[in-house]
Chains A and B, each alone.
Chain A
Amino acid sequence: MIGSRRQILIRKILVWIALILGACFAGLPVLWMVSSSFKSNLEIFAYPPALIDYSFSFQAYQAVLSDPGQLRFFFNSYLVAILVTICTVITSILAGYSFSRYDFRFKRILNLIIIGVQSVPPITLMIPYFGLIVWLGIYNSYAALVLTYMVFTLSYAIIMMTGYFNTLPRDLDEAVMIDGGGSFVTLWRILVPISLPGIVAVGVYTFMLAWNEFLFALTLTRTNDMRTVPIGIHLLMGQHSFEWNQMLALSVLGSLPVLVLFLLFQRYFIAGMSAGSVKG
């Protein structure tokens, strides 16, 4: 490079300034939410504001964690998200295998439909879902949420899974086939074990989508014992007196599972993301 040492130093300082400004934009709102969740409800909008003030306590967290109603939101969210993840992973492995290893008549059009499903607005499906779910007799049940969530987790999962299988050489499964194994044995014994990174990426992404879903959970459940965390937050917001610190504590606790998953599986996740959505 042509630049002198001094020029490089100046550029380095500029990069750091930009880096820190960007971090403030992304991180300060989150930091403020976390710090506010430790304040007492009276001090949330105190003047002048302080990141940490004299009212620091875990009282809001205690209130959330000792309320069986709110713990139930967590239980529901975990149960629904885990069920959706299991069902989506299995279904997408089967579909991805079909798309990756077989040529069949309607392959192209089915593939296009599955990509296209991502663009169907949830609000468009909402109106008929209400009637359909009531007709099926599963209104206000876990089944209603698991089934409807899969509509928008599945298409992404299939695209990611097909992409992953495509990176594995066909010789692998052909060797097993010649040894007399059926196609299902090949899939289960050979492809699934070596596709674990791809499956993890699909699983984590599905869990995040299911954990975060709002619209279907709002309209397809009626009683509080079926509500999930995002709806729980919505309910707290609708109350007459705003318990800000409790809402924030619930928000922080509600974000932890996704945050932990994200930090643990960052690498898989980012790779799977970019392979799935945008084939650059």
Chain B
Amino acid sequence: MVTATQREITEPANIGWEQRKRKLLPYAYLSPTLILLAALTVVPILTVFLYSLVDNVIVNPNPPNFVGLENYEEVLTNRKFRGALSNTMYFAIVSVVAHFIIGLAFALLLNSRLLSANVKAIFRVIYILPWVFTASIIAILWRLLLNPHGVVNFVLLELGLVPELLEWLSDRKLALNAVTFINIWSGYPFYLVSFLAGLQGIPDDLYESGRVDGGNAWQLFLHITLPQLKPIIISLALLDFIWTIHQFTLIWMTTGGGPLRSTEVLSTYTYKAAFSSHEYSIASTIAMVILAICTFVAIFYVRSQRMTDE
């Protein structure tokens, strides 16, 4: 009797447990990811936000006071911040546009039917080469080349393109363009790789019918290639824009934001505020502004991803 009732009770419960287990299983597989992201993304972001609302943190032993949006007011009206913001935007926008143009030009070149497969394979490796190097090595490499007594100045001077030896990275008027150029050199292969994959996905029939309609090479490019690559272009550009705003190492190791803050970007500015001046509340406020900019762009990125998913 006892065992019979027990079975009656436990069996439905078992089914319930099985169902619950099935429901919980996907979360179980995700649990390492979720724990890590909660501990190292969600909590830290909330912490930064909290830091940005108080007047002193970490270094000062006095308990912090809640100051509302005062820090934001202070940061947003600060001339140094505005300088860093405009440098960041210049750096990011010029980089993205140049990456796109160079990446597409190289992809079209490597896709040319006039070249044999072996030639393409060799040149593909050379063209992707800048991508293999980490930012700190790229910084060393270009400090070597752009040194006033370096090879770039030598070549330009010999060709008569510059009147004298230029201080590419320590001249206030040149430095921002120099670091932007370095970033362009190091970042275009990401586009190249994606465009190569994209170009191979465009069916030949499209070009055939375009030619039958009498289109020349330029028209084919404008009316077939570009529209076909559009979804790739949009997500690449958005992602690259976000990554370029994140860029810290390259600028830190070439100019450190100088001379006279002429290459100061938001990330180097935040780093200095936190780890040189120990103004953690101000640094957190700038960090929140960067996060807001990136999140704004990311919304469009996530949307473009979903569009291509469905």
Contacts and interface: CB of A to CB of B under 8 A. Distances in A.
B281 to A, nearest CB: 10
A69 interface: no
A86 interface: no
Interface stretch (B9-17, B36-44, B62-70, B75-83): B36-44
A131 interface: yes
A233 B196 CA distance: 33
Contacts of A117: 37, 41
Contacts of A233: 136-137, 140
A26 B147 contact: no
Interface in A12-41: 12, 15, 18-19, 22-23, 25-27, 29-30, 32-33, 36
A273 B232 CA distance: 12
Given A147-B40, A277-B235, A120 B45 contact: yes
A142 to B, nearest CB: 16
B134 A113 contact: no
Given A49-B151, A255-B133, A270 B48 contact: no
Given A115-B305, A251-B140, A104 B27 contact: yes
Nearest to A163: B309
Interface string B227-270: 00101100110010010011011001100000000000011001
A274 B197 contact: yes
B290 to A, nearest CB: 5
Given A115-B302, A219-B275, A237 B58 contact: no
Interface residues of B, number: 93
State the main secondary structure of chain B at its contact with A.
helix
Given A45-B149, A120-B41, A278-B235, A128 B36 contact: no
Contact of B297 (A12, A48, A119): A119
Contacts of A52: none
B145 interface: yes
B279 to A, nearest CB: 11
A119 B29 contact: no
A92 to B, nearest CB: 8
A148 to B, nearest CB: 7
B20 interface: no
Given A26-B127, A104-B23, A254 B137 contact: yes
Nearest to B46: A128
A18 B193 contact: no
A102 B25 contact: yes
Interface residues of A, number: 89
A214 B271 CA distance: 13
B295 interface: yes
B154 interface: yes
Nearest to A49: B151
Nearest to A122: B246
A241 interface: no
A170 to B, nearest CB: 15
Nearest to A159: B305
B123 interface: yes
B44 A125 contact: yes
A263 interface: yes
B287 A127 contact: yes
State the main secondary structure of chain A at its contact with B.
helix
A183 B147 contact: no
A266 B192 CA distance: 14
A148 B40 contact: yes
B125 interface: yes
A256 to B, nearest CB: 10
A22 B106 contact: yes
Interface stretch (A56-64, A150-158, A193-201): A150-158
Given A36-B144, A117-B37, A151-B37, A94 B134 contact: no
Contacts of B198: 274, 278, 280
Contacts of A33: 140-141, 144
Interface string A93-133: 01101110010100100101111111111111111110110
A280 B308 contact: yes
Given A30-B141, A214-B136, A119 B294 contact: yes
Given A127-B47, A251-B137, 13 more contacts: A15-B109, A23-B126, A30-B133, A32-B145, A49-B154, A95-B29, A107-B26, A119-B295, A121-B290, A121-B291, A214-B135, A219-B275, A278-B308
Interface of B: 23, 25-27, 29-30, 32-34, 36-37, 40-41, 43-45, 47-48, 51, 58, 105-106, 109, 112, 114-115, 119, 123, 125-130, 132-137, 140-142, 144-145, 147, 149-151, 154, 185, 189, 193-194, 196-198, 201, 229, 231-232, 235-236, 239, 242, 245-246, 248-249, 252-253, 266-267, 270-271, 274-275, 280, 283-284, 287-288, 290-291, 294-295, 297-298, 301-302, 305, 308-309
7 contacts: A45-B150, A90-B32, A119-B294, A121-B291, A214-B252, A280-B194, A280-B201
